[in-house]
Amino acid sequence: MSLDTVNQTACFGGTQGVYRHPSTVCRCEMTFAVFLPAQARKVPVPVLWYLSGLTCTHENAMTKAGAQAWAAREGLALVFPDTSPRGEDVADHEDYDLGQGAGFYIDANQAPWQPHFQMRRYIRDELSALVLGQFPLRAEAMGITGHSMGGHGALTLAIENPATYRSVSAFAPICHPTASDWGRKQFTAYLGADETAWQAFDASVLMRAHGYDGPVLVDQGGADNFANLLMTESLSKAMDARGQAGQVRLHEGYDHSYFFVASFMAEHIAHHSKILHAV
Amino acid sequence: MSLDTVNQTACFGGTQGVYRHPSTVCRCEMTFAVFLPAQARKVPVPVLWYLSGLTCTHENAMTKAGAQAWAAREGLALVFPDTSPRGEDVADHEDYDLGQGAGFYIDANQAPWQPHFQMRRYIRDELSALVLGQFPLRAEAMGITGHSMGGHGALTLAIENPATYRSVSAFAPICHPTASDWGRKQFTAYLGADETAWQAFDASVLMRAHGYDGPVLVDQGGADNFANLLMTESLSKAMDARGQAGQVRLHEGYDHSYFFVASFMAEHIAHHSKILHAV
């Protein structure tokens, strides 16, 4: 598998890089970012995946979430994937919440999305194999987190693949997409009208059915303009019904921005670090 | 003085806000950002000014420098001004390093710049009076820092006004603009061809002539593409000649980006906090 280095610089004693590669799964060039802490120069380190939200690329969280400061201290690597396939040959839509920038971390089976929009398989299989092969990372010590659409991606990937993702958390995740306008629209487009196929991509549904083997940390802002689309309460109820370990915390005054994400990043990094370093 | 709130959200237990006001000095609407730590709800707090570099607005450092995390811990407020006057009626230039986004923190006396480009007076006098009047800040405990063009602004403002700015630091500052293409071009445009008028805006010249009453902290990346324009060595020599307290540190592998700024922000905040809390 080939990999081009777009940019690389020192960052908190480690290295922040941006890389590009031809994706077989998404059938286009894909860009992603990796932060390697100083510890990775000597030994393989645990890795935390950060999945971003609608309209984001690999760049937003890399520059605005403030995660490297804490990952450097804890000796964790960070991977920041893009949120969808990209390019002129890739299907798109004029709405910000469908098409490029809005992959939803699912595998489309409907035209015109199917040929490129395979973000679940891309993240879980192809990009995972690529970064584990190219960087000094511990394959058995991977965790996953994300924001908004990326929080949905993190929760669903972790619940479906607990042996792959040993720790999970989310910032203001889309919690119940099969019942939200952030979900129904995209699932209809990517997966078709049959709602039974949607259930495997809904964190609240999956939580109620399977739970997750480990504590789940979710933070939500109390002044989030998108609260009615996120449906945090559905996840809380599913966790309660399941007896799921972990917590959903509501933080008064915080909105949906990266100021919210950055404010609680240290605690999320600590959550993952504790679990992953014990693996 | 009037002030419009553009946006306000919780951030690291405090408040991150963006504000707009009509500037008498710059004769246009100006936008700036303020971070208030939780401590400011009870008592006035010290304040650190952060001046940004070429092409930046109030937003870049506010979102990418990671300063709020440390300012929250130390109980410091942060002010992020814009880098120039803005608007359709304001003179501009097609180059990225002249005109809007490139105010250089000096007071222009040449056409067409003179009517609006008064960034030194704007920062030091007008915006200072505004924020001290509107927010719970300690006027006697102000420090200043900045990046690149903003590092030049911080150093020159502090050396010229040590009673106003009680602490100073800089990230990859333009150190000797009267001898650099980042300086000569702009000073010619804003101040005219007579180079004697330029000297009051050159950190190395000012350092050699006056020094600064307190330790000066400067960080510079060893892989900075703009090193030949910044001329850090000139400032180091001026500090040595003066016997100036402080240090100019070179960090191998760091470039000119906000990853560099963020990596050393904790130490800069600690530097300012120690001095300002003792005032």
pLDDT tens, A164-215? 999 999 999 999 999 999 999 999 999 999 999 999 999 999 999 999 999 9
> Which residues in chain A are contacts of B253 at CB distance < 8 A?
9-10, 15
Question: B217 falls in which pLDDT band (50, 70, 90)?
Answer: very high
Beta bridge partners of B19: B5, B32
Q: How confident is the model at residue B94 (pLDDT cuts 50, 70, 90)?
A: very high
The DSSP element (H or E) to which A49 belongs, if any, is strand A45-51
Q: Is the pLDDT of residue B86 over 80?
A: yes
pLDDT above 90 (res B185):
yes
pLDDT at A152 over 80: yes
Whether B219 and B251 have beta carbons less than 8 Å apart is answered as yes
Per-residue model confidence (pLDDT) at position B2: 81
Distance from CA of B235 to the nearest CA of A (A): 24
Q: How far is CA A183 from the centre of its chain?
A: 16
Instruction: Render pLDDT for A30-46 as a digit per residue (tens, 0 to 9).
Output: 999 999 999 999 999 99
* Residues in B 206-235 with any Cβ partner in A closer than 8 A: 221, 223
pLDDT band at B89 (very low <50, low <70, confident <90, very high): very high
The stretch B6-17 carries a mean pLDDT of: 98
Judge whether residue A1 has pLDDT over 90: no
Instruction: Give the tens place of pLDDT for each residue, B55-82.
Output: 999 999 999 999 999 999 999 999 999 9
Residue B226: the pLDDT is 98
> By percentage, how much of chain A surpasses pLDDT 90?
99
- A54 vs A31: CA distance, rounded Å: 16
pLDDT confidence of residue B91: 96
Report the pLDDT value the prediction gives residue A2, as an integer from 0 to 100: 81
For residue range B141-170, list pLDDT tens digits in order: 999 999 999 999 999 999 999 999 999 999
Q: How far apart are CA A170 and CA A143, in angstroms?
A: 11
Q: CA-CA distances (angstroms) from residue B191 to A135, B103, B126, B202? A: 52, 12, 21, 13
pLDDT tens per residue across span A91-111: 999 999 999 999 999 999 999
Q: Measured between CA atoms, how close is B126 to chain A, in angstroms? A: 28
Please list, in sequence order, all residues whose beta carbon lies within 8 angstroms of the beta carbon of residue B83, skipping any fewer than 6 positions away.
B51, B52, B53, B54, B55, B56, B57, B101, B102, B103, B119, B149, B150
Tell me the pLDDT tens digit for each residue of B114-141.
Answer: 999 999 999 999 999 999 999 999 999 9
Q: How many other CB atoms are found less than 10 A from the CB of residue B97?
A: 17
| Amino acid (1-letter code) at residue B31 | T
Shortest CA gap A62–chain B (Å): 9
Chain B CB within 8 Å of residue A250 CB = no
Question: Rounded mean pLDDT of B12-25?
Answer: 98
Of A63, A255, A263, the CB nearest to B64: A63
Q: What are the structure tokens assigned to B215, written together?
A: 């330790």
Q: Is the peptide bond before A112 cis (omega within 30 degrees of 0)?
A: yes
Active site residue ranges of B? 148, 224, 256
- Render pLDDT for A228-251 as a digit per residue (tens, 0 to 9): 999 999 999 999 999 999 999 999
Looking at residue B1, its pLDDT comes to 62
Q: Whole-angstrom Cα distance, residue B151 to residue B146? A: 4
Amino acid identity of A12? F
The predicted model gives A144-154 an average pLDDT of: 98
